[in-house]
Chains A and B, each alone.
Chain A
């Protein structure tokens, strides 16, 4: 390679970024060459998105210098970065839903002419899509597109806007395994044409499949940059977490579920469930599911195929437009969330800080939320603060929630500790059914292990669990059966011991494999 003569496409030196007390990037050095796919890996919260948002001009670093193609630059806004040929596909897509694909591509462009000329943009997008195998209908409105299509729109838009440095923030998180493989091929082709591609992920198999080099971030620091050819999963995982991973994510055979329960009674019974999404369009179109005592039923699916709506209808947060939800034989369809909770249903929602916890309230208030109306926490209409404090301390200790104190606002806890507090609260009432949505998303490995242990304890206690997750490894390790949601329907329910990610991937893509009847 002529790496010595060609300057780095990206060179970041000593980049530091703080958010209040959190140091998201701590003196990070990062460099990537033109023509390479450079992976950036690290656990959730390691600072990957922050570092790349700095490169894209969205965040302003507190310290550090940046050079692009050997030229020192200082970005005051995304505009400056765009002008340097940097384009980023953010983790949360930056698309205007109500615009067409072509309008999204033109948005903010500084070409001559004040009149909106979508026709020429449509032609250019079609040409680029053809060339890179990223076909999109440039007249479609973004809200009509699937998540995978929206991602293609993002990529084609970057090319349309002339980006030479392309950053992808966890692009495969929203894709099926098959779509991910297509994307990886596209990224390789782009690197071969001389683009500098930065690929963020924490899925190590993908990283090794696509990258030339890998930089590992751990707690805001860059701990190593290695050649992909000379490393392996284990070595990367060790660099990411700073120690060997416990074998906790693999199914241990000593954990035989539902001990002492021979008759597996049905705790949750869902029949032909229908509900609308936030846009008023059908999000669930006739779901049938049973979850039994002592069972963990996993729900897999590409994001946005009805997972959130399923959890919200069961827990009473979203109106049911058709069908039935029964808990322990009692009809709970469209009952208020409080009644459903009292019937023994606990909920760990996707959006833990918005729906699960009150960010500005302290740990005590959050901890007692499910039971403050009853003795011993209440005496008539009054709260017994001392009893609340005792209750909270016991809860925090039992689930090793690390917090500055009972009176700190929950907002200040790390993601993992917020999640542990939430689970502790929800499980304190020994629920019969737990609905958990992405319980380990965005939490550190240690907390994820605790959360997995808690879920297994539910199982041995004989409770039913509906576990919605994007992490197929997590589902395969924890669940007894896995149901796959696709466009608001169950594509198939498989035995978790008798399936693999490829099989699930086909179901997630809406393709029913011949042997889907496990």
Chain B
């Protein structure tokens, strides 16, 4: 394994990239739904952390990984419902509310998780080889010897793509983010739908957290998402609000993460601090690139993203 150019090395990096990217992918798909509905959620990191903790705690006590994943889904959604309440009903500033939830989620998860730090996981999602498919040379071991959450995400990406671009509810969703006044005038319940998508988005972020605490690194440690929530936010822009492109970005980041560990393992000197910096550098870079109004429109940013909608108030 010392030759870092060998096919075997590459295959192992890619096989590790998929689950590493999957955690980001769930969060990213959630954020995508939320932003398509016109709401910016910067609380993803906090929702992932709460999901990671909630998922692990439930799996720890019930010894059921699936129950853990469901709990992570619920916890993420619950935290997101606070965001929905603040920004949809109370018209709070979306950036401030999101940041507050990230701080709240990381603080609360650290506090509630004190006793779980370092506990072994009695249940987690192990690798399952898909019969036949996993025997395909190279591709089989990269794609089809993964855990259950990875397989679910394989289905989720095309499903969400189809939903957003090929269904009526998806059309309505896009209208919410493009022009909520029009959506309202055409008979959609803007507030209720935004609640729904914000909560669904947070729930997916929660599952993203569980994909770490129940699959890639079973267990709980404080701040274990290490900025992946921020990568997810940036990847939504990078992926131009398209689930398929977002998935590509998520796996790319998974690859960077997996590659770095393996390079270190292979004796290539790279400081782990670079990896820790990466999410934030990437987020800053994407936000700078996407900050100009014309650039945002060209890449298809939802036109009303970040703006509250109140029916009787003049826009």
- Does the CB pair B167–A108 fall under 8 Å? no
Scan residues 70-120 of chain A and give those whose CB is less than 8 A from a CB of chain B: 77-79, 82, 88, 90, 94-99, 103-104, 106-110, 113-116
- Does the CB pair A116–B170 fall under 8 Å? yes
* B300 CB → nearest A CB, Å: 7
- Does the CB pair B166–A107 fall under 8 Å? no
Contact among B178, B185, B293 for A97, CB-based, below 8 A: B178
- Does the CB pair B297–A280 fall under 8 Å? yes
- Does the CB pair A109–B182 fall under 8 Å? no
Bound Cα distance from A495 to B312, whole angstroms: 44
- Does the CB pair A96–B187 fall under 8 Å? no
* B168 CB → nearest A CB, Å: 6
CB 8 Å contact bits of B146-169 with A (1 = contact, 0 = none): 000000000000000000011111
B244 part of interface (Cβ distance < 8 Å): no
B171 part of interface (Cβ distance < 8 Å): yes
CB closest chain-A residue, reference B190: A77
- Does the CB pair A96–B168 fall under 8 Å? no
Known: A97-B179, A115-B168. A79 touches B187 (CB 8 A): yes
- Does the CB pair B311–A99 fall under 8 Å? no
A278 part of interface (Cβ distance < 8 Å): yes
- Does the CB pair A114–B169 fall under 8 Å? yes
A56 part of interface (Cβ distance < 8 Å): yes
B183 part of interface (Cβ distance < 8 Å): yes
Contact among B183, B293, B311 for A107, CB-based, below 8 A: B183
- Does the CB pair B181–A94 fall under 8 Å? yes
Bound Cα distance from A109 to B185, whole angstroms: 11
Bound Cα distance from A361 to B14, whole angstroms: 58
Bound Cα distance from A79 to B191, whole angstroms: 14
CB closest chain-B residue, reference A60: B312
Residue among B165, B167, B185, B189 with max Cβ neighbours from chain A (10 Å): B185
CB closest chain-A residue, reference B169: A114
B67 part of interface (Cβ distance < 8 Å): no
Interchain pairs with CB closer than 8 A, number: 85
List the A side residues contacting B167 at CB < 8 Å: 114-116
A391 part of interface (Cβ distance < 8 Å): no
Known: A94-B182, A98-B303, A114-B167. A107 touches B294 (CB 8 A): no
CB closest chain-A residue, reference B162: A115
* A79 CB → nearest B CB, Å: 4
Scan residues 230-264 of chain A and give those whose CB is less than 8 A from a CB of chain B: none
Bound Cα distance from A96 to B300, whole angstroms: 13
List the B side residues contacting A116 at CB < 8 Å: 165-168, 170-171
- Does the CB pair B171–A107 fall under 8 Å? yes
* A248 CB → nearest B CB, Å: 30
A132 part of interface (Cβ distance < 8 Å): no
- Does the CB pair A107–B186 fall under 8 Å? yes
A19 part of interface (Cβ distance < 8 Å): yes
Scan residues 263-315 of chain B and give those whose CB is less than 8 A from a CB of chain A: 293-294, 297-298, 300, 303, 311-312
Scan residues 1-30 of chain B and give those whose CB is less than 8 A from a CB of chain A: none
Question: Using a Cβ–Cβ cut-off of 8 Å, how many residues does chain B contribute to the interface with A?
Answer: 29
A454 part of interface (Cβ distance < 8 Å): no
List the B side residues contacting A109 at CB < 8 Å: 168, 186
* B179 CB → nearest A CB, Å: 5
B81 part of interface (Cβ distance < 8 Å): no
- Does the CB pair B297–A110 fall under 8 Å? no
List the B side residues contacting A108 at CB < 8 Å: 172, 175, 183, 186-188
List the B side residues contacting A114 at CB < 8 Å: 167-169
List the A side residues contacting B171 at CB < 8 Å: 99, 103, 106-107, 116
Contact among A19, A78, A113 for B312, CB-based, below 8 A: A19
Known: A99-B178, A116-B168, A116-B170. A59 touches B183 (CB 8 A): no
- Does the CB pair A79–B179 fall under 8 Å? no
Known: A99-B175, A278-B293, A280-B294. A94 touches B170 (CB 8 A): no
Bound Cα distance from A116 to B294, whole angstroms: 29
- Does the CB pair A107–B182 fall under 8 Å? yes
Bound Cα distance from A78 to B186, whole angstroms: 7
Bound Cα distance from A347 to B22, whole angstroms: 54
Bound Cα distance from A116 to B168, whole angstroms: 5
- Does the CB pair B189–A279 fall under 8 Å? no
Residue among A110, A113, A280 with max Cβ neighbours from chain B (10 Å): A280
- Does the CB pair A78–B184 fall under 8 Å? yes
- Does the CB pair B312–A96 fall under 8 Å? no
CB 8 Å contact bits of A441-452 with B (1 = contact, 0 = none): 000000000000
A58 part of interface (Cβ distance < 8 Å): yes
- Does the CB pair A113–B168 fall under 8 Å? yes
Bound Cα distance from A99 to B175, whole angstroms: 8
* B32 CB → nearest A CB, Å: 16
Bound Cα distance from A115 to B167, whole angstroms: 4
Scan residues 70-98 of chain B and give those whose CB is less than 8 A from a CB of chain A: none
List the A side residues contacting B170 at CB < 8 Å: 116
List the B side residues contacting A78 at CB < 8 Å: 184-187
Bound Cα distance from A109 to B169, whole angstroms: 10
List the B side residues contacting A115 at CB < 8 Å: 166-168
Bound Cα distance from A110 to B59, whole angstroms: 42
List the A side residues contacting B185 at CB < 8 Å: 56, 58, 78, 88, 90, 94
Bound Cα distance from A113 to B169, whole angstroms: 10
List the A side residues contacting B189 at CB < 8 Å: 77, 79
List the B side residues contacting A96 at CB < 8 Å: 174-175, 178-179, 182
CB closest chain-A residue, reference B292: A280
- Does the CB pair A280–B186 fall under 8 Å? no
Bound Cα distance from A58 to B293, whole angstroms: 30
* A108 CB → nearest B CB, Å: 3
* A116 CB → nearest B CB, Å: 5
List the A side residues contacting B303 at CB < 8 Å: 97-98
* A246 CB → nearest B CB, Å: 31
* B163 CB → nearest A CB, Å: 9
Bound Cα distance from A95 to B174, whole angstroms: 13
Closest 6 CB pairs of A and B: A108-B186, A79-B187, A280-B294, A94-B182, A108-B187, A94-B185
- Supply 28 A–B pairs (Cβ within 8 Å), ascending by A: A19-B312, A59-B312, A78-B186, A82-B186, A82-B187, A94-B181, A94-B185, A95-B179, A95-B182, A96-B174, A96-B175, A96-B178, A98-B300, A99-B175, A107-B172, A108-B172, A108-B183, A108-B187, A114-B169, A115-B166, A115-B168, A116-B165, A116-B166, A278-B293, A279-B294, A279-B297, A280-B294, A280-B297
Q: A96-B175, A99-B178, A114-B167 are in contact. List 7 more A-B contacts (CB 8 A).
A: A58-B311, A82-B187, A94-B185, A96-B178, A107-B182, A108-B187, A116-B171
